[in-house]
A and B are shown apart, each in its own frame.
Chain A
Amino acid sequence: GENVEQHPSTLSVQEGDSAVIKCTYSDSASNYFPWYKQELGKGPQLIIDIRSNVGEKKDQRIAVTLNKTAKHFSLHITETQPEDSAVYFCAAPLTGGGNKLTFGTGTQLKVEL
């Protein structure tokens, strides 16, 4: 099955700085990598995803990069704002698992004023 590792577990940045969260996965057959943002007491919200046929995808201040050879993908948030403070989860498909997702352990991002 898929094993997803996520780092760091906590990340504190100054407003306006960039934040980078990294995940590694074990199954080379995985081909879809989403990122979710979860605010306190709420369900996760999909913020960006990438397929293995591309190396980078960008949506305004958020970008995701994928390195299939090294089996890792990263979330990049530029010009961070206080409202970016949340827990971020990466995920990868559980191969052979009926298209279920395996989630990383989460990163608590705090954007300080």
Chain B
Amino acid sequence: GAVVSQHPSRVICKSGTSVKIECRSLDFQATTMFWYRQFPKKSLMLMATSNEGSKATYEQGVEKDKFLINHASLTLSTLTVTSAHPEDSSFYICSARAPGQSHEKLFFGSGTQLSVL
């Protein structure tokens, strides 16, 4: 299957700082990527849809100023958690749809565990 790389895998930061998470499609171009958030032992909750060259689409209840998404190229989307607080601690996962695949088939990155102290 297609490879989606996510970095970093783990980050610890102080409250009030910003953290950037990168999601790359390694062997294909992705016009659309998705960002999910997952709490321990819970399901994946879609946060936003990242669209190359245009603004991201956020799900209801997700603060766009808090979670900044940039999709500047066909292989890279970034999620920046601004002014992070302990309640932002979570597992963040990106996914992308590979070309030539059915439009629903998603490939996921390895996730980023964010811990805000």
Contact = CB atoms under 8 A, between A and B. Distances in A.
B34 A100 contact: yes
A46 B106 contact: yes
Contact of B104 (A41, A99, A105): A99
Contacts, number: 53
Contacts of B105: 32, 34, 46, 49
Given A41-B113, A42-B110, 14 more contacts: A34-B105, A42-B111, A43-B4, A43-B93, A43-B110, A43-B111, A44-B44, A46-B107, A49-B105, A89-B43, A98-B49, A100-B34, A101-B104, A103-B44
Interface of B: 1, 4, 6, 34, 41-44, 46, 49, 57, 93, 95, 97, 102-111, 113
Interface of A: 32, 34, 36, 41-46, 49, 51, 89, 93, 98-101, 103-106, 108
